[in-house]
Structure 1
């Protein structure tokens, strides 16, 4: 605590000096959302592992959050977290249907007005009687629902359609929910069950939800990812190719992805890769695609053979 206090005092003195030098209005300080605000928001949680892909960021965060420092490390896998591709994590985080290993399925539908989570148990197996099994499923599903709510940053009105229960079991599940939501860093209020048997709760809207950040839409069905999301996906892909023995590459992607990449990502990638990058635009495709990768001669020959296609150099 003394370390945190001294660091805050130093920061305050620096900001005070800056405020004297600058003319109002002037933004003196703002925490970056990732990772500063995120770690600050969740630092009371019981983390087992916090990974970074940049050594400087790791060092800065270890100084900023000394209590979490021993859980921070550099990610060894360029494009993976916990053995799974980053892109796979992102897609799973916005899919409307979530399948759990024990056979419980959540269907999450988001609209402008509210979010509905439906519980299904067709593949769940148990030796208990039907009523006890349904209550057990609901208890497990409750935890899954809260995991998805926090992961997707769902907010506003949320309705959960649990399996049919007796009144006593509804009351017990409601109490479990009221206790569990206290662990959520965002204020969440549980109102109870509606006349139709749906559990109703509201969660404070603090930041944009994950699906709004990653896609061009607010609904949770299968939707095209936003240009920003694809551009960052492209960044990870290009850096992963840097370990290969290639001299040039041609990619195919949407012009909006190219525009965002050139504006916000290009300079960073330029320091990370050693090969020449060419781009062919295709506004019919939402995803990017590697057309050719290899020697300079191979790419030059491809461009000569396809002169009817506009290929521009990006890097």
Structure 2
């Protein structure tokens, strides 16, 4: 029998920053942070303008008013594009192909949960699929060929329709990461507490696969179908299981009211323009994380406490007794003993209870995790020691992925084991832990080299990227150039300058960081005198704390002109 986990939601407001922590059995499991300058944009709906269409990439770049254009892949251009265009273009523009020539992403979804474009909880997000035809299922090879043919014709159809300067209604499904703009879709969805509304779902209703009872699935589908207006679709969420008709109807009415507001705003909108903003961080977290096993909800802010109560009184009135306003003397996170867990997010090294540890390294392409046994060396054989450390590390790795919100490709280097059965135990343990993660992931078995590969859904920058700034000294690499390497570069610059500059006895000022200036000032021979004898140049060394240890700047003393780039290789 699976052990029940005690969960708490802690909502901490400090200044303009809001932190929401999900605590499981006393340990921090997830942390969501929102600041005024970096508000979450997942689920936001924009009226965008197509900047350019690149058929080679099978994508379009769309201006939605952000720093970088959003990326709209053809596979994310919904088959309902014409319906949206009807809202934002003239009524007489009817020369386009009808939208029902290709199936919607949600068509035919029954026993499986239909994929959702954005705004929905992570449990309901997935890759799109073609609509399924009724009757007997085609053979795998036939499906593969039919699918390839449909995708090709669909791509050509989209490429022919999307043109530069077109207006298009899009929704954010991935936030900007590094230099990449937002990932967009035109399959609009609006997430609620018990269901996700598909404004152009064509009457399709799907139920979360986590609702296992056939009787309950049938009840929910029949109930929601009877309430949906014509042309709308819906995905029924797991938390709707065993809920009364009144609550489901209230949730649907709220979602329909939001869609009506979107329609009204579109009438006078000009791209690029934000049309719909997702719920506040508090409402979003409560919508997606509030389950029956949450035993306590604590807020340290009266305004957040009030917002939480208002939401729970409607969504889960039986849980109102679990909501409280924090009155402790210590800060909220310290009072609940998770302050150290929050601080550990920035640490490369994470210790295991056994004495082993893991090292987490972020690279441009992936995240690499190294498992080490450390001082753990009990009186057991090496194989058993390695297995115990690897099993503990597997649990901690998944916890850190959730806690730091790490996505993309993750490679874990476990301690080598000789027995293939032990490798499978670690793999099975990792798979089991990932089932508790709301983000979608894929995992491969451990290789002969002890390497395990994981991909985890990434819809926003990791928590470290959002909470931290790049180190000005190392540029984010974790390593700074040796100061003597910089001194060698300076001397090469001086030789080049002396060769290319005919006039002798020029007066120059050299600016370097204090770490580089220190060996120049304390060398056996006066550096300034040495350079004069070598190059017939008067060079004066000055310190500049704003410079990195791998940087330097030469200025002419006469007119203070920066000549570094003119005579050197920077």
TM range (shorter): 0.5 to 0.7
- Taking the aligned partners of 2:387 and 2:323, their CA distance within structure 1 comes to 39
Q: What pairs with 1:130-149 in structure 2 (closer than 5 Å)?
A: 130-149=382-401
Aligned CA distance change for structure 1 residues 131 and 17 (closer, same or farther; 3 Å): closer
Secondary structure of the equivalent of 2:345?
helix
**Post-superposition shift, 1:209?**
0.5
Q: Would you say 1:213 and 2:460 are equivalent positions?
A: no
**Post-superposition shift, 1:83?**
3.1
Contact 1:98–1:107 (Cα < 8 Å) also in 2: yes
What does residue 30 of structure 1 align with?
278
- Taking the aligned partners of 1:18 and 1:163, their CA distance within structure 2 comes to 56
Secondary structure of the equivalent of 2:435?
helix
Contact 2:416–2:449 (Cα < 8 Å) also in 1: no
Please, which of 74, 84, 87 is the counterpart of residue 325 of structure 2? Answer: 74
- Equivalenced residue count is 224
What does residue 489 of structure 2 align with?
none
Q: Would you say 1:196 and 2:454 are equivalent positions?
A: no
Deviates more, 1:37-46 or 1:191-200: 37-46
**Post-superposition shift, 1:11?**
1.8
Q: CA RMSD in A?
A: 3.2
- Taking the aligned partners of 1:18 and 1:76, their CA distance within structure 2 comes to 39
**Post-superposition shift, 1:59?**
3.1
Alpha-carbon deviations, 1:218-273, whole Å to 9, x = none? 95969xxxxxxxxxxxxxxxxxxxxxxxxxxxxxxxxxxxxxxxxxxxxxxxxxxx
What does residue 94 of structure 2 align with?
none
Highest CA radius of gyration, 1 or 2? 2
Alpha-carbon deviations, 1:11-35, whole Å to 9, x = none? 2354355346533545244122x22
What does residue 440 of structure 2 align with?
187
**Post-superposition shift, 1:123?**
2.9
Any gaps of 5 or more consecutive residues in structure 2? 1-242, 480-544, 547-570
User: 1 or 2, which has the higher helix percentage?
Assistant: 1
Secondary structure of the equivalent of 2:275?
coil
Any gaps of 5 or more consecutive residues in structure 1? 223-282, 285-315
What does residue 307 of structure 1 align with?
none
What does residue 41 of structure 1 align with?
288
Alpha-carbon deviations, 1:25-55, whole Å to 9, x = none? 45244122x2233333333584444332222
TM-score normalized by the length of structure 2: 0.35
Alpha-carbon deviations, 1:144-171, whole Å to 9, x = none? 1111000000111101111111211111
**Post-superposition shift, 1:190?**
0.3
**Post-superposition shift, 1:69?**
4.3
What does residue 102 of structure 1 align with?
354
Secondary structure of the equivalent of 1:202?
strand
Q: Would you say 1:18 and 2:261 are equivalent positions?
A: yes
Q: Would you say 1:123 and 2:366 are equivalent positions?
A: no
Secondary structure of the equivalent of 1:193?
coil
Secondary structure of the equivalent of 2:375?
coil
- Taking the aligned partners of 1:129 and 1:45, their CA distance within structure 2 comes to 44
TM-score normalized by the length of structure 1: 0.61
